[in-house]
Amino acid sequence: MLSKGHYRVRIAETQDDLKAAQTLRHIAFLGGQGDGLDQDEFDPICTHFLVENETTGTLVCCFRLLPLNGGDEIGRSYSAQFYELSALAEFDGPIVEMGRFCIHPDARDPDILRAAWAAMTRYVDENGIELLFGCSSFKGTDSDAYLDAFAMLKEKHLAPRRWLPRVKAPSVFNFAQKLRWFKPDAKQAMMAMPPLLRTYLVMGGWVSDHAVVDRQMNTLHVFTGLEINAIPPARKRLLRAVVG
């Protein structure tokens, strides 16, 4: 699909490609425990993107996209299992769910994330996408480890009221309510934010007012949305430059 620096991004075409992505997901999310594959019923209906080292061919990052015609189809998404998303049913325009984003724990080159965003940007442009959304995950289920990050989300990045997801999952951390008097340390907050979520926020993304405690995946995750037309022009120019 495209090349950036030492990395190429392509769409999975074979069952071996998909298994490679599922293996990487298993390592990234579950620490390599169990049968070696992270797979679910959404895999067959998604387009899977692979970020590989061009020199070695090693898979270093992957994610999947589920395109939907509009907000009235959002109930088909992975996120809808965990969040009550009826408010977004009114969103008019093509939308896409980005999920299972992960980078190999041993791969630390920031160009990997840049290559992934370049691929997502091209996909959004070519398909006229107006909303990119998904679940942004914090590793582990201990909310105390991320209080500064959650307090920062509460102060600056909550979803507009008209789109705000409601509670659906049985176990959640209502950070907007519980941390309403908590003042975050900005440096600690940004250090604790997952890299993907940081990028969403820089682009003007927003999050739910609560985090879902997902013990199966050993994560805390927040619903995250990015309205493409609301991205600041300067940030759009940067994204276009990355895509080249």
Q: Give the pLDDT band of residue 239 (cuts 50, 70, 90).
A: low
Mean pLDDT of 193-219: 94
Burial class of residue 152 in the structure, from the number of CB atoms within 10 Å of its CB (0-12 exposed, 13-18 middle, 19+ buried): buried
Backbone angles phi, psi at 134, to 5 degrees: 170, -170
**What's the half-sphere exposure (Cβ side, CA atoms, 13 Å) at 52?**
19
Please state, in angstroms and rounded to a whole number, the distance separating the CA atoms of residues 194 and 16. Answer: 28
Q: Give the pLDDT band of residue 3 (cuts 50, 70, 90).
A: confident
**CATH (one of 3.90.650.10, 3.40.50.1370, 3.30.2000.10, 3.40.630.30) for 2-243:** 3.40.630.30
Minimum mean pLDDT range among 16-20, 111-115, 133-137, 224-228: 111-115
pLDDT at 240: 62
More confident residue, 217 or 206: 206
pLDDT at 235: 77
* Domain coordinates in residue numbering, the chain: 2-243
Q: Give the pLDDT band of residue 15 (cuts 50, 70, 90).
A: very high
- At residue 83, the 3 state secondary structure works out as strand
Rg of the chain on CA atoms, in Å: 17
Q: Give the pLDDT band of residue 241 (cuts 50, 70, 90).
A: low
Q: Write down the pTM of the prediction.
A: 0.94
Please state, in angstroms and rounded to a whole number, the distance separating the CA atoms of residues 229 and 203. Answer: 11
Please provide the average confidence, as pLDDT, over all residues in the chain.
93
* Contact assessment for residue 119 and residue 1, using Cβ atoms and an 8 Å cutoff: yes
Mean pLDDT of 235-242: 67
Query: What tens digit of pLDDT does each residue of 95-129 get?
Result: 999 999 999 999 989 899 999 999 999 999 999 99
